[in-house]
């Protein structure tokens, strides 16, 4: 039963990633693409967590933690650039 | 004491987190102490003054409220998103802010952000009003009253500011 | 029994993640799209992490909780910063954009 649940979870996260890609490509505004990127990295964290459960390890958690850190910084920098035209002042 | 360790709580949290993440050993204990003493001093100019906590039980109760609201929020937002889109009533609402301490304002905005279909998008330069986008607004007055009653008032009681 | 709990948490978490991503595609304007992902994904990842904590009980529990804590702390900030982009660039919006809000064009 757990295996089935893991497969369903992996499938739905893959679907979610595809939906994010649709918005990322469709836009229309750069702000939409930044939002799609933000969702994309959070969903990637989710994928790594489920993979860890699937493989019964903990090796991906370090990667998930790193993506959480860098993803936020990337979103913040991107949003500031789009809002002001520069990252630092 | 004040110059050596400007934020004792922050130092304790930093040391505990480091030891929990890296594992406990004498070397890591030393490193944790160094980090706990240097990082708060390095970020002190950014933090300004952190408000003290007046009531721990109040803080726990507020955290419980927020967790409960997150659960409800997600179910409500999921239903709104899956239902007919044309029936949604998005709106911008100007919410007056009573708390003055930067940390309190930040906490207030964060709590609004992670609960039902509302996101603060801007704060006026005098920090007296915030602009909130609501996904499905039924009654502006009721929304403002609810947010202020549920999050801002407990915050004023918990923090010393 | 524990497996059942893990399975339920996995299904709930992935459901919210799909709903969040789906709202990104479905909703008509930028400010409305902002609501779906920033909320659903945090709860989605939160329950997946809870499932992982219950399933693999080892010394790394704190790492997992740290990810959840970090996401819950950064989600409001990301949403705020992205919202600022929408306000400053005056993205098309179904709700009328406020004309006079001082914070939106400094």
Kindly list the residues from chain B whose CB atom is less than 8 angstroms away from the CB atom of residue C79: 113, 119
Contact at CB, C7 and A17, closer than 8 angstroms: no
DSSP annotation of A87 reads: S
Which residue of chain C is at minimal alpha-carbon distance from A20?
A: C21
Tell me the HSE value of C6 on the side-chain side, using a 13 A CA sphere: 22
Res A18: pLDDT: 93
Q: pLDDT tens digits, residue range C28-38? A: 888 888 887 77
Could you read off the pLDDT of A28-83 as tens digits, one per residue?
888 888 888 888 988 998 899 889 888 877 788 888 888 888 999 998 888 888 87
pTM: 0.84
Residue closest to C79 by CA, chosen among A26, B126, A75: A75
Residues B30 and B95 placed together within one structural domain of the fold: no
Tokens (6 digits) for B9: 């709580």
The answer to whether C24 contacts A36, with C-beta atoms less than 8 Å apart, is yes
Instruction: Please answer yes or no on whether C40 and B77 come within 8 Å at the CB atom.
Output: yes
Nearest CA in chain C to B116: C39
Residues B20, C62: C-beta atoms closer than 8 Å? yes
Whether B113 and B41 map to the same domain: the answer is no
Segment A9-24 shows an average pLDDT of 91
Q: What is the pLDDT of residue A13?
A: 92
Alpha carbon of C99: minimum distance to chain A alpha carbons (Å): 17
Are B123 and B152 contained in the same domain?
A: yes
- Could you report the per-residue pLDDT of B134-147, keeping only the tens digit for each? 888 888 788 888 88
Q: How far apart are CA B85 and CA B105, in angstroms?
A: 32
Q: Which neighbouring-strand residues pair with B91?
A: B134
Residue A49, domain member (yes or no):
yes
Cis, peptide link before residue B128, omega less than 30° from 0: no
- Structural domain harbouring A58: 2-84
Query: Alpha helix locations (H) across chain B?
Result: 8-22, 26-47, 56-82, 102-113, 140-147, 153-158
Q: How confident is the model at residue A11 (pLDDT cuts 50, 70, 90)?
A: very high
Which chain C positions have a beta carbon within 8 Å of B130's beta carbon?
103
Q: Where is A61: in which H helix or E strand?
A: helix A60-84
**8 Å CB contact of A34 and C85:** yes
pLDDT of residue C106: 42
Which carries the bigger pLDDT value, residue C96 or residue A75? A75
Residue C3 predicted with pLDDT over 90:
no
Q: How many domains does chain B have?
A: 2
Supply the pLDDT for residue B131. Answer: 86
B2 within domain boundaries = no
Specify if A89 maps to a domain. no
Residues C48, C16: Cα–Cα separation, whole Å: 10
Structural domain includes residue A59: yes
Find the CATH number of the domain harbouring B104.
3.30.70
C-beta atoms of C91 and A29 within 8 A: yes
Say yes or no: B135 and B97 in one domain.
yes
Least CA distance to C82: which residue of chain B? B121
Residue B70 contacts C where some CB pair is shorter than 8 Å: yes
More confident residue, C62 or C49: C49
Q: How far apart are CA A80 and CA C88, in angstroms?
A: 11
Give the mean pLDDT of C49-56.
84
Partners of A34 on chain C (C-beta within 8 Å) are 82, 85
CB within 8 A of C28, min separation 6: which ones?
Answer: B85, C94
Total domains in chain A come to 1
Query: Do A19 and C86 make contact, defined as CB atoms within 8 angstroms?
Result: no
The neighbour count for residue C102, using CB atoms within 10 Å, is 15
* Structural domain that includes position B74: 56-158
The residues of chain B scoring below 70 in pLDDT are 1-6, 47-50, 52, 116, 160-161
């Amino acid at each position: 039963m757990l295996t089935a649940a893991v497969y369903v979870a992996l499938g739905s996260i893959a679907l979610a990633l595809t939906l994010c890609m649709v918005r990322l490509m469709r836009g229309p505004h750069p702000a939409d693409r930044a939002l799609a990127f933000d969702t994309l990295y959070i969903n990637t964290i989710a994928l790594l967590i489920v993979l860890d459960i699937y493989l019964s390890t903990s090796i991906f958690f370090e990667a998930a933690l790193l993506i959480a850190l860098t993803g936020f910084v990337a979103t913040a920098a991107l949003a500031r650039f789009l809002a002001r035209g520069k990252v630092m002042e | 004491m004040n110059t050596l360790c400007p934020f004792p709580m922050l130092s304790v949290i930093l040391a505990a987190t480091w030891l929990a993440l890296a594992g406990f050993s004498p070397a890591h204990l030393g490193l944790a102490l160094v980090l706990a003493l240097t990082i708060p001093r390095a970020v002190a100019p950014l933090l300004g003054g952190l408000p003290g906590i007046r009531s721990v039980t109040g803080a726990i109760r507020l955290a419980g409220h927020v967790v409960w609201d997150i659960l409800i929020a997600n179910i409500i937002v999921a239903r709104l998103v899956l239902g007919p889109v044309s029936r949604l009533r998005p709106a911008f609402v100007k919410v007056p802010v009573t708390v003055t301490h930067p940390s309190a304002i930040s906490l207030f905005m964060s709590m609004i952000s992670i609960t039902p279909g509302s996101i603060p998008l801007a704060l006026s330069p005098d920090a007296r009003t915030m602009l909130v986008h609501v996904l499905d607004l039924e009654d502006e007055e009721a929304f403002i009253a609810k947010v202020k009653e549920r999050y801002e008032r407990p915050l004023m009681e918990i923090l010393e500011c | 029994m524990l497996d059942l709990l893990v399975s339920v948490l996995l299904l709930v978490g992935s459901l919210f993640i799909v709903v969040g991503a789906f709202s990104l595609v479905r909703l008509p304007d930028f400010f409305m799209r902002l609501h779906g992902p920033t909320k659903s994904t945090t709860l989605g990842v939160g329950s997946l992490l809870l499932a992982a904590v219950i399933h693999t009980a080892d010394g790394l529990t704190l790492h997992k909780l740290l990810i959840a804590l970090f996401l819950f702390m950064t989600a409001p900030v990301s949403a705020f910063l992205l919202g600022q982009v929408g306000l400053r660039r005056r993205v098309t919006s179904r709700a009328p954009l406020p004309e006079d809000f001082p914070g939106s064009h400094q």
